[in-house]
Structure 1
Amino acid sequence: MDSAKSLSFTLWLVATGLFMQTLDTTIVNTALPAMAATLGESPLRMQSVVIAYALTMAVLIPASGWMADRFGTRKVYFSAIVLFTIGSILCAVSQNLDQLVASRVIQGAGGAMLMPVGRLAILRTFPQERLLPALSFVAIPAMIGPMIGPVLGGWLAETLSWHWVFLINIPVGAIGAYATHRYMPDKHDDQRQPFDGVGYGLLAFGMAAISLALDGMSGRGMGHAPAVLLLVFGIIAVVSYWLRAARHPAPLFSPTLFRIHTFTIGLLGNLFARLGSSGMPFLLPLLLQVSLGYSPTHSGMMMLPVAAAGMLSKRLATALITHYGYRRVLVVNTVLVGLTIASFALIDATHPVWAQALLMAFFGAVNSLQFTAMNTLTLKDLGQHGASSGNSILSMMQMLAMSLSVTVAGGILAAFSHLVDHDSASDTLAAFHGTFICIGLLTAASAWIFWQLSPDVERESKKDDSLDLG
């Protein structure tokens, strides 16, 4: 095969892999009530299905780059597609919630390698002059996947069964695996760095333990005493990692990155601001189906304004940040995101659909602006030397925040639901209202982190030409 065709195949393979990975972060949400009915679970206690996928990705993302360097991009990407497809099959044949959660872990393990290894394959295959168009091309499915995911998940769950949410990955995965094995170039890093296995183990265990402990405290499958113990061990592991990294010659993530003011603020802001907002894709379909009586397809359609407004608002980010600076935009917009989340407590069955759709669209717009500004702030001052490591930390933190946000939202919802009659739609609606107010306040409070930004960042932003990241 000539060089042009090889590049074209690589581009489409990576785009397809990213589409599969991003689709599965949202397609499950609208099908959760249908899954709960089949598996004999409460739809308000299905957060583990989402947490397992996001947490597995957060844990494995730091190792994906080293694996590609060690074994080659083609082998790792092929393995990622195969693992993702096997996980999808196991999800579809799961007979209970525990089996489904375990299968989502396998699926997440494949998904964790699809995104970073796919981007790495492009970086190592495409010449410099074609790199930007290539990266822009593969960014398209990353935006389309979350847009059609809720609609497709709802339609499949209602028209066929929730099993097809996972079965649709099988033909795509089979074709992708064959094409990867045959056409993708196999790139290695001949001067790869040694892998900090001990540091990785500490960090991975710490992230998993903290997330699982918080989920356990919400009352599912774990007593409070073991959950507290697991939380303490998780915190010890994370602290131990950073203490070890400070004296290790080649740590997994260098602590020197945190000397960069914008990186530190951006990363902390990403974590705490997303603790509230990243739980909304989990909460909203449940609200619409469980409390408002929407069908899975209808609830999926109601999520379209969120995604559409989010895509459109990205174009405003550059202008707003250039004119007002990162500090003002992020402080004001973080509070606005929090208040918008809290305003979902006003929704009930008497509100017209157009008013609900308008609120969904406004949330999508301010939330997308928040993500774009936070991501750009985090990466803007890393330079060439720290860009790869910093981007890996950011990707890991985003998936960890998604896991923690669903954990927090599910825990708060469970706490409120204990106070009401589970069989009453109006009472479960009150539980949702309380949850929206709590996570809205949590999100708004994270504006304090962005308030710590140096005023100098505002002046730098006027000449910054990298605002289209994220």
Structure 2
Amino acid sequence: MTLDPRTKRLLPWLVAIAFFMQTLDGSILNTALPRMANDLGESALRMQAVVVSYLLTLALLIPASGWLADRFGTRRVFIGAIALFSLGSLLCAMSSSLGLLVASRVVQGVGGALLLPVGRLAILRVFPKPELLSALSFVAVPGLLGPLVGPSLGGWIVEVATWHWVFLINLPVGAAGAVFALRHMPDLRRPVDRFDTVGFGLFSAGLLLATLALQGLGERAFSGAASLLMLVVSLAAMVAYWLHAVRHERPLFSPALFHIPTFAVGLAGNLFARLGSGAMPFLLPLFLQLGLGYSPARAGMSLIPMAVGAMLCKSFAAPLIRRAGYRRVLGINTVLLGAMIASFAAVGPALPSAALLSMLGILGVINSLQFTAMNTLTLGDLGPTQASSGNSLLSVVMQLSMSLGVAAAAALLAAFAGALPLPGSATLMHAFQATFISIGAMAAASALIFLQLRPGEQPDRTRPGAVEEG
């Protein structure tokens, strides 16, 4: 599609602003959770539902984003996504109970699930191949700035104002984005096949019930029998989806994707490795505030080295992967990731701040290298007809794994806190320590998946670093 030069120049800015709004919201919230829990009369250890509900909504709706954009046009869907995200933000700020806040986060998640995929789709359709990488790289920059700014901004906001402003700051950005989109988002659409509604329903049911079962086991919100039943039904739904996909002419996700060895290993590794890395943005702010007694602002500022480490890693990740190979990098780095997460069990009030900040910076480097290697491995061998479906499935797995990581971390934390017969503060500290060790072990175990790569095996079509981190 041919666009006027001004629209073509401003489109990456529009998508970048939307991406920044989404990543800022995700990183700004975690630091504010203890203060939110206090105001809502809840335990801070039960606030994971606020995070999980949003991530799970993203995972459920991302598969439908491309079809909706083709059916109704990128401009209409993108503006609708901004409106829903902004409405959800307003409802979050107005929430007076945990239940209302979780429901509002679902509304916000519906908008977030459409926002970035539709914006990225518009860029893919507008820019020719020689210009595409630079446009996508520009859009990816806010993905690094959000985690850099978010935690400290969230901590500062809850100290000088109230937690409600963590959500209200999205409103002026959303209003500006909607006006900007009306002028500069092209209205792209294509003929679409019938949407795989049955497959979408089975796949979504499997994801939702598995997450609810884990939530129920952790919070004891449901009986053990109900949680076990949901887990069994979720497995049945996923098996039913697989059987449906094998027989369907155009399934939601084609089983043929798993005939590509690098995709299969990369996707499975993404699912399990991100259980650890996805849990840490939730665990660390709680640990710093509840375990070490940091103020929200200090806790947020302490997390900046993680974002800085992630940015520094981008300068050497691609050459390192090219030289050492995927099997060696992912096999070793995944174990290092697990060991680094477990090492936070040794952190206590007596540890110098410089040592803690160094640990967080190293964790940021290891995390970034892990994401770069996993993503390029997963997508690198996909052909033109497989790229859209494979990228969508990877996005779903990324969001699902992070939501499961948060749910697992919260379940472990609650279980350890209830099982240790120690005084209040000592119980909480030991519960955090045991949770870090458990989450680290879970992450390190995924190295066994990456070791299934043959020595020297790597994707043919994608050079490391060409795929956006996530």
Q: Are 1:164 and 2:165 matched, yes or no?
A: yes
Q: Are 1:381 and 2:381 matched, yes or no?
A: yes
Please state whether the residue corresponding to 1:344 is helix, strand or coil.
helix
Equivalents in 1 of 2:91, 2:272: separation in Å? 33
| Equivalent in the alignment of 1:84 | 85
| CA shift for structure 1 position 193 | 2.9
Structure 1 residues 236-261: Cα deviation after superposition (integer angstroms, max 9, x where no partner): 11111111101111101110010000
Structure 1 residues 5-56: Cα deviation after superposition (integer angstroms, max 9, x where no partner): 1123322211111111111221110000000000001111110000000000
Q: Are 1:181 and 2:182 matched, yes or no?
A: yes
Please state whether the residue corresponding to 1:383 is helix, strand or coil.
coil
| Equivalent in the alignment of 1:68 | 69
| CA shift for structure 1 position 464 | 5.9
Aligned counterparts, 1:48-63, within 5 A = 48-63=49-64
Please state whether the residue corresponding to 1:278 is helix, strand or coil.
helix
| CA shift for structure 1 position 318 | 1.3
| Equivalent in the alignment of 1:397 | 397
The farther-off stretch of 317-326 and 247-256 is 317-326
| CA shift for structure 1 position 95 | 0.3
Structure 1 residues 241-293: Cα deviation after superposition (integer angstroms, max 9, x where no partner): 11110111110111001000000000000000111121000000000000111
| CA shift for structure 1 position 369 | 0.6
| Equivalent in the alignment of 2:311 | 311
Contact 2:372 2:464 in 1 (8 A): no
| CA shift for structure 1 position 395 | 0.5
Equivalents in 2 of 1:193, 1:140: separation in Å? 34
Normalised to the residue count of structure 1, the TM-score between the two structures is 0.96
| CA shift for structure 1 position 424 | 2.7
Equivalents in 1 of 2:422, 2:208: separation in Å? 30
Structure 1 residues 278-333: Cα deviation after superposition (integer angstroms, max 9, x where no partner): 10000000000001110101000111001100111122221221111100110110
Contact 2:88 2:107 in 1 (8 A): yes
Aligned counterparts, 1:280-299, within 5 A = 280-299=280-299
Structure 1 residues 187-242: Cα deviation after superposition (integer angstroms, max 9, x where no partner): 0013x232101100110111011011101111242222211111111111111111
Q: Are 1:355 and 2:355 matched, yes or no?
A: yes
| Equivalent in the alignment of 1:368 | 368
| Equivalent in the alignment of 1:468 | 466
Contact 1:421 1:428 in 2 (8 A): no
Q: Which amino acid aligns with 1:442?
A: M
Q: Are 1:155 and 2:156 matched, yes or no?
A: yes
Equivalents in 2 of 1:12, 1:421: separation in Å? 54
Equivalents in 1 of 2:160, 2:234: separation in Å? 43
Structure 1 residues 130-162: Cα deviation after superposition (integer angstroms, max 9, x where no partner): 322211111111111122111111111111111
Equivalents in 2 of 1:260, 1:367: separation in Å? 25
| Equivalent in the alignment of 2:252 | 252
Paired residues, number: 467
User: Root-mean-square deviation (CA), in Å?
Assistant: 1.6
| Equivalent in the alignment of 2:17 | 16
Please state whether the residue corresponding to 1:194 is helix, strand or coil.
coil
Q: Are 1:339 and 2:374 matched, yes or no?
A: no
Q: Which amino acid aligns with 1:219?
A: E
Equivalents in 1 of 2:422, 2:296: separation in Å? 20
| Equivalent in the alignment of 1:320 | 320
Structure 1 residues 404-442: Cα deviation after superposition (integer angstroms, max 9, x where no partner): 000100000000111247973232111100000001111
Contact 1:330 1:370 in 2 (8 A): yes
Aligned counterparts, 1:40-55, within 5 A = 40-55=41-56
Equivalents in 2 of 1:182, 1:232: separation in Å? 49
| Equivalent in the alignment of 1:37 | 38
| Equivalent in the alignment of 1:194 | 194
The farther-off stretch of 122-131 and 332-341 is 122-131
Equivalents in 2 of 1:464, 1:62: separation in Å? 23
| Equivalent in the alignment of 2:144 | 143
Please state whether the residue corresponding to 1:27 is helix, strand or coil.
helix
Q: Percent identity?
A: 55
Provide structure 2 residue ranges, at least 5 long, that are not aligned to the other structure. none
Please state whether the residue corresponding to 1:24 is helix, strand or coil.
helix
User: CA separation of 1:197/1:401 partners in 2, compared to 1, >3 Å: closer, same or farther?
Assistant: same
Q: Which amino acid aligns with 1:227?
A: S
Q: Which amino acid aligns with 2:41?
A: G
Equivalents in 2 of 1:435, 1:444: separation in Å? 14
Equivalents in 1 of 2:48, 2:95: separation in Å? 16
Runs of 4+ in 1 over 3 A off after TM superposition: 420-423
Equivalents in 1 of 2:332, 2:137: separation in Å? 29
Contact 2:51 2:403 in 1 (8 A): yes
Q: Are 1:228 and 2:225 matched, yes or no?
A: no
Equivalents in 2 of 1:449, 1:229: separation in Å? 28
User: CA separation of 1:464/1:64 partners in 2, compared to 1, >3 Å: closer, same or farther?
Assistant: closer
Please state whether the residue corresponding to 1:218 is helix, strand or coil.
helix
Equivalents in 2 of 1:393, 1:193: separation in Å? 19
Equivalents in 2 of 1:402, 1:277: separation in Å? 8
Q: Which amino acid aligns with 2:436?
A: F
Equivalents in 2 of 1:387, 1:261: separation in Å? 15
Equivalents in 2 of 1:244, 1:149: separation in Å? 42
Equivalents in 2 of 1:151, 1:193: separation in Å? 46
User: CA separation of 1:103/1:224 partners in 2, compared to 1, >3 Å: closer, same or farther?
Assistant: same
User: CA separation of 1:464/1:187 partners in 2, compared to 1, >3 Å: closer, same or farther?
Assistant: closer
Equivalents in 2 of 1:317, 1:113: separation in Å? 30
Equivalents in 2 of 1:398, 1:112: separation in Å? 13
Equivalents in 2 of 1:160, 1:291: separation in Å? 23
Equivalents in 2 of 1:109, 1:312: separation in Å? 32
| Equivalent in the alignment of 1:443 | 443
Equivalents in 2 of 1:464, 1:438: separation in Å? 34
Equivalents in 2 of 1:166, 1:418: separation in Å? 32
Normalised to the residue count of structure 2, the TM-score between the two structures is 0.96
Contact 1:347 1:356 in 2 (8 A): yes
Contact 2:80 2:111 in 1 (8 A): yes
Structure 1 residues 43-78: Cα deviation after superposition (integer angstroms, max 9, x where no partner): 111100000000000000000000000000000000
The farther-off stretch of 119-128 and 364-373 is 119-128
